[in-house]
Amino acid sequence: MKVILCLLAAVSTLAAEPARIVSAGGPITETIYALGAQDQLVAVDISSVFPAEADKLPKVGYARQLAAEGILSVNPTLVIAHDDAGPSEVLTQLEKANVKVVKLPNDHTVESAEKRILQIGELVGKKAEAEALTQKLRNDVKTAQERAAAAGSKPKVLFIYTRGGGVMNVAGTKTGADAIIELAGGANAITGYEGYKPLTAEAAVAAAPDYILVTSRGLESSGGIDELLKQPGLISTPAGQARRVIALDDLYLLGFGPRLGQAALELNEKIHPQPPVAKQ
């Protein structure tokens, strides 16, 4: 009887052992931290830069260019990735090595963001925390939409993606930028195409944005607002003339992770600024 009890106890201990997780996606890593399950992480991809402590974990490369050797070197039991991670043969190799691979949706919608959080909550044993996190996200988005409706206008926002070197790409429809602008109560200034296209003076002037939106790292790499506004056509736009340039953190703005609701609220406040309260 004692032997049987000891065996059962050993099995129970093994079953209770936390997973050794490799996260291949910045929003996935951020969610794991938000759920309080970061002790299960053993490595992350290079896009996992938030929170700051995540950037200190071993790196396994870019999520779409994973290498099996690097991942297997940290002895994971679970790899969580977006559905565009790969290459597919690497993921197959991991599964053959008895590593569970779970791919999550990567759509730029509130529903997809909530689904990812709930799925990760199930995987890391934080179901209740995941439900609370999705509720907060949902509430923040609702607040942003209510504020946008109350504002009675939809400012035109031009999102520019840049990493310096004079390369400027503008977001059209069906992009993360397009989705977050809509959630914040704005209108994408570019609606004539899907995805990204290089900035041209003609397109910038024709778009006539009220605001120019960039990522923080993008603005830094371009040399700041003054240098950014020297790019083709931007100074001739309403946004350029008024120097209305908004810069937000990359992952915060475009990651559609657990801070999605906060990002929508903050962008809403920036494109619908409240007039100063007059002193009595």
Q: In terms of residue numbers, what domain contains 88?
A: 2-104
Does 88 lie in the same domain as 22?
Answer: yes
How far, CA to CA in Å, does 250 sit from each of 17, 72, 138, 219, 233?
Answer: 34, 29, 21, 11, 24
On whether the CB atoms of residues 264 and 184 are closer than 8 A, the answer is: yes
Any domain includes 113:
no
pLDDT band of residue 3 (cuts 50, 70, 90) is very low
Any domain includes 194:
yes
Q: What is the pLDDT of residues 201-254, one digit of tens each?
A: 999 999 999 999 999 999 999 999 999 999 999 999 999 999 999 999 999 999
Alpha carbon distance 144, 262 (integer Å): 9
Alpha carbon distance 24, 86 (integer Å): 9
How far, CA to CA in Å, does 203 sit from each of 191, 207, 218, 232?
Answer: 11, 6, 20, 9
Last residue of a domain, one of 104, 120, 136: 104
Which range, 12-26, 241-255, 263-277, is most confident?
A: 241-255
pLDDT band of residue 280 (cuts 50, 70, 90) is low
Any domain includes 12:
yes
pLDDT band of residue 33 (cuts 50, 70, 90) is very high
Whole-model pTM: value is 0.88
Q: What is the pLDDT of residues 91-113, one digit of tens each?
A: 999 999 999 999 998 899 999 99
Does 181 lie in the same domain as 80?
Answer: no
Does 183 lie in the same domain as 256?
Answer: yes
Q: What is the DSSP string of 219-278?
A: HHHHTSHHHHTTSTTGGGSHHHHHT-EEEE-HHHHHS-STTHHHHHHHHHHHHSPPPPPP
Does 89 lie in the same domain as 158?
Answer: no
% of the chain surpassing 90 pLDDT: 83
CATH code, domain with 33? 3.40.50.1980
Last residue of a domain, one of 70, 89, 104: 104
Q: What is the DSSP string of 164-211?
A: STT-EEEE-BSSHHHHHHHHTT-EES--SSBSEEE--HHHHHHH--SE
Any domain includes 123:
no
pLDDT of residue 15: 42
Does 157 lie in the same domain as 267?
Answer: yes
Alpha carbon distance 62, 1 (integer Å): 52
pLDDT band of residue 152 (cuts 50, 70, 90) is confident
Any domain includes 212:
yes
Beta strands in 84-192 (DSSP E): 100-104, 156-162, 168-171, 187-188
Alpha carbon distance 224, 258 (integer Å): 28
Does 61 lie in the same domain as 162?
Answer: no
Overall domain count for the chain: 2
Any domain includes 13:
yes
Alpha carbon distance 253, 156 (integer Å): 17
Any domain includes 53:
yes
